[in-house]
Structure 1
Amino acid sequence: MDAFRDPPAAREKVLHSFRHRLGNIPTRGSSFFIHLSELCPVACEHCMYSSDLERKSDKVALSRRELEDAIRFISESSSQKLNITGGGEPFLKFSSILRLLETVEVPRIEIVTAGHWAMSPKRTARMMRQIDEARSRNPVNPELLLRLSIDRYHLNAPRPVRIEHYGNVLRCWSESRPGFAVGLRSIQPDMGTVDRMIAKEVGAGVERVDDWNRLLVLPGGMTVPLTFNVFRRSGKALRLTEDHSGATKTIREYYGPFESRPGNLSLATAVNDAIRGEYTASTGVAVTLNSDGTFWIFCGTAPDRRLLLEKQSFAEAVAYFFEDPITHLLVDEGIWALSDLVMEMDPRTHAGALAKNDSASLVDDLLAPDDVRLAVTLIAAHRQVTRDRATVDAEHPLARMLADPAADMARMCRDTVLANRESR
């Protein structure tokens, strides 16, 4: 097809001509992920973000004004849950955490941290008290979970989080009994190791919940959930010499039980909370806001389609994302639908993306080649138009083909991309 002579330009022409039907897009959020900093003092060797204290961009954190814009945007999204996590260590921006806790209008909040700040019982108690006080000032009285990451890499990092630091948090929590919960997160290869270590540190028992979850039973009866996740081979982990392939499931195996139907997993329209043992389908979209102010639909946005948070409304932002047929594909059919398409047209790209075992980078990696991104755009647009969910302007050179139910768009795009690979 002539469109593949200049894939980026051809994709832009499709985006300018594609008209979705407004009634087919979400009007609210499900989970909202906010990354407060790209820096982290722990610098784990397996970090999916390759985070340490070295700046990797000109902008490593949201400004005070941007944080206020983010609070407005999150509250406007009516998301079910705010996740303060990712990118780096959120406790480096502790004042921003407190501001979010006391103002954002969501029913549930989760803070994910390495726990490096819990170096002494006194400091731990002070910071946990500030967290509880900030949460209690929030008019919507959100449910809060403070979740600490614990695994061999945190314990052996350049600036390690020692087992007694985790102990400080659990002891302080059980003694002060604040109005929020505490949980732990680890990796599947460390199952049976770190759970025993922390249990010994605080004198707790360990109970099995299911394949991925354990429960620490503290002296006095209070319980702390410990969730084990797959091991992700992205970021710094790509440089590790250790091979965990035999000790961890793949993301497809991990998420399989949560598919709405076999092969259909849409992380963009679901709330995933393994600590609760729940995976609840939602009519909303999950949004990630990075520390540089860019944001996107999680597992629902092509890598060239991210937005910068300014004064736009949540509805305006969602409408922008759904101007891209790829977003419809990812939200309606899920990441495995994209994965299967790319596997047929570009097996090498597909293999490299799946090898990372990381859902957070999967879409970006699968859609990295320009011609693959154009091919998926055309396939997704064809599906939307022929299902009467969208139209393409008649002036577009491919308008007739995109509206033809008999056109085998997937085959044509696959053959074109494969031919491109063979000619290189």
Structure 2
Amino acid sequence: MLLAVVVGTFVFPALPKPTTLSQINAADTAWMLTATALVLIMTPGLAFFYSGMVNRKNVISTMLQSFICMALLTVVWVVVGFSLAFGDSVGGVIGNPATFFMMRNVLDGAPWELAPTIPLALFAMFQLKFAIITPALITGAFAERIRFTSYTIFILLFFVFIYAPLAHATWHPQGILFQLGVLDFAGGTVVHMSAGWAALASAIYLKRRHEPSHSPAMVTFVLLGTGLLWFGWFGFNAGSALGANALAVTALATTMAGSAAAALAWIFFDAVKGRKPSAMGTCIGAVVGLVAITPAAGFVTMPHSVAIGVIAAIISNQLVDWRSKTNIDDTLDVFPCHGVGGMVGMLLTGVFAHQNVNSANTTGNGLFYGETKLFLIQLGAMVGVSAFAFAGSFVLLKVTDVISRLRVSEEEERMGLDLSQHGEKH
């Protein structure tokens, strides 16, 4: 009898009741449907962005590492992922896995308390897209040397033990970081810092490639990927206002200004070093700006978004140079760009945030306005999240390696992952 009930739950789940909640707003719903689609297109954009930078024999494998996240993480999200991130809080660090198990009470459920004008299912699908792209970001650090099956195990573990707890702690009203007053508008901590520190742990754990230097396969792919990322990022940041409102406009405007300023700052800084203004540098700079403005997008003014983009671009540019002189083989510089960009954005949110921009959610004014509390909160969260994401990812890499060998053989690496892992050729 018990088995029949369990099987019946999976095969014949309870049908949703019609939603009659009067607070659902058509304009907010329409915008959030659009924003959800925009965020999803960022993952194929990332696939093009990364694949254009690797060796031609690893283009397909690099792209597939992003695409598989859309399939794997969606199924995990439906089964238990949404519950872990946004279910009833357990100690402020994780959600109860039973809250929305198999999306129970989601299609007909009451709206999320911080998104009261859109259906709960739409909020769940919007947040899913963040969960998809975060592990995909890590792939740039171990590109060209990881076994595909082992990679899928790692990203599953990463989601359960790193991403979901951070999402819950930061964005759930009972989350420990939320309660402390940490500001992260669209994922500087949850997405970029977690992926960046995991990337650094991966680069250290997997060690250097046997052929560490190569020419990018196709710079035009990098340009295409940047365009898709930039386009989708408006859903990422402006969508995090969770409605068609003035805050969404603010987030869209600061996102545009911050990324444009960072793109220019990157190539100007390269010029100061005697380098030519390159398409690759412009693209990397724009993405660094997008990363850095993400936590601050709904809390700062447009002039300050320009400052954030410029500062982040210069710091990341310097760290890319520094990383290249070490033995750390972060293939596509995920940590200097996403990890450091996220940290810079996190700290500068504590410098430039002001309650006049977002009076409903800002927990204080930034250091620029003479207040220290918010900056110290952001600094403490940055240190704590960094330690958690780096140490946790290192442990998960070791666990994955025990379950399934992480690194391809030297022969497979020289052959290229397209052929050795997938039997396909670009």
Higher relative contact order (CA 8 A, sep 6+): 2
Q: Same fold (TM over 0.5)?
A: no
TM-score, structure 1 length as denominator? 0.26
Q: Say which one has the larger Rg.
A: 1
> Which has the larger helix fraction?
2
